[in-house]
Structure 1
């Protein structure tokens, strides 16, 4: 088994598991469906593609910086008729940072890593309005390591300002959420196991989670500046 760790950091994130109609909520941590959707998009999979191989991956997430819940109240009109659309509420996590991980066969994990280095579709953190602010892969896949151990050993990815306040915000440990093994009673359950992303009939199964905590690890050197749209547009010609 191999493990691929992902840094999920951005001004806004939104990871819904029960969102319906005009009220779009977010969980406190990335969902399995959201992260697998990001990986499927990086590979260029179509919405109706088979997800069985991705759904079988072991998934876990470490909350490095929990962020702040933000509520956005939206109004809109149809452009052609000027008819009002339904009012909606959308919730986000602002200034959050997570380390997520997937574990599976080396061939699939390597393919996902390569896709993130050169994604077919622009990755986003749960919703299209939530681009990442840092590169997503935390290095190449790791071989012969348990996902829980990889999450335990990964450097703390919180922002500098948050680390400066860490004595109060993160008192010596970080929360980890992992897939619950078969036969073990889960701590909580979410309907975030993707069965189909087909917009005509999206389907999700229940997934059991178990929670734990890991000691606060050391910090990583500051990440280089990151613009997820680099390469999409040619550089502007110089005029001087």
Structure 2
């Protein structure tokens, strides 16, 4: 199997899968629909174009740098011809700040190679969930051979130096993967894009599993004090 690795980092990200009306929430990690939208934009696909080949890719995420959730309040004025301006309801929008993720999609090698090339010279602007969230740095880390979970576990840690210094000398990186059929206690999320067409935007369900995290050595991390040493050991 071939796997395309993606580094998703930026000042702000927002990955909603159940936002409604005036509350626009974000998940704690990238959604499959959001990443598929990013890949489609890189290739220059329009919202009315078919995306079945992209939606069929297997998907997974490794949380390399946990972000903080921030809330933003937004207002808008609606102006209709011949009438006074009307204030719209206050909108609550949630974002992840200072987060870094390693995402992966797996499938046909030729398709993934084309996506890698497209990410190097995208046809449309790319963003991390919302248009106000541009990515920072190179996104594609290339196409790799292997199983999706194995490739995510083996990839180098992508966290910033300042973040590493704030962690301990051993860090557990969470994994969030597409769940194989029949996985017990799998989560469900309406996160498979069937159509991005504004007139008939549709999403299907996907099962999600969270296997054991990736244990990452962090020599730059802080040393935890040994309280028992004061008393000559445990």
Q: TM-score, normalised by structure 2?
A: 0.88
The aligned counterpart of 2:111 is: 108
Cα distance in 2 for partners of 1:216, 1:16 equals 28
Between the aligned partners of 1:23 and 1:206, the Cα distance in structure 2 is 21
**TM-score, scaled relative to structure 1:** 0.86
Q: Say whether the 8 Å CA contact 1:156–1:217 is kept in structure 2.
A: no
Task: Tell me what 1:130 maps to.
Answer: 133
CA deviation after TM superposition for structure 1 residue 104, in Å: 0.5
CA distance in 1, matches of 2:32, 2:217: 24
8 A contact 2:168–2:218 mirrored in 1:
no
Partners of 1:186 and 1:209 within 8 A in 2? no
Name the structure where strand makes up a greater proportion of residues: 2
Where does 1:1-240 land on structure 2 (aligned, <5 Å)?
A: 1-78=1-78, 82-138=85-141, 140-143=142-145, 145-167=146-168, 171-212=170-211, 213-216=213-216
1:186–1:209: structure 2 CA closer, same or farther, 3 Å change rule?
farther
* Counterpart in the other structure of 1:224: none
Structure of higher CA gyration radius: 2
Q: Superposition RMSD on alpha carbons, in Å?
A: 1.6
CA 186–141 in structure 1, closer or farther in 2 if over 3 Å, else same: farther
Mapped partners of 2:125, 2:216: distance in 1: 32
Q: Tell me, yes or no, if the aligned pair for 2:16 and 2:26 is still in contact at 8 Å.
A: yes
Q: Which stretches in structure 2 are left out of the alignment for 5+ residues?
A: 220-234
Unaligned runs of at least 5 residues, structure 1: 220-240
CA 1:186 to 1:111, structure 2 compared with 1: closer, same or farther past 3 Å? farther
Corresponding residue of 2:222? none
Contact 2:16–2:25 (Cα < 8 Å) also in 1: yes
The separation in 2 between residues aligned to 1:207 and 1:163, in whole angstroms, is: 33
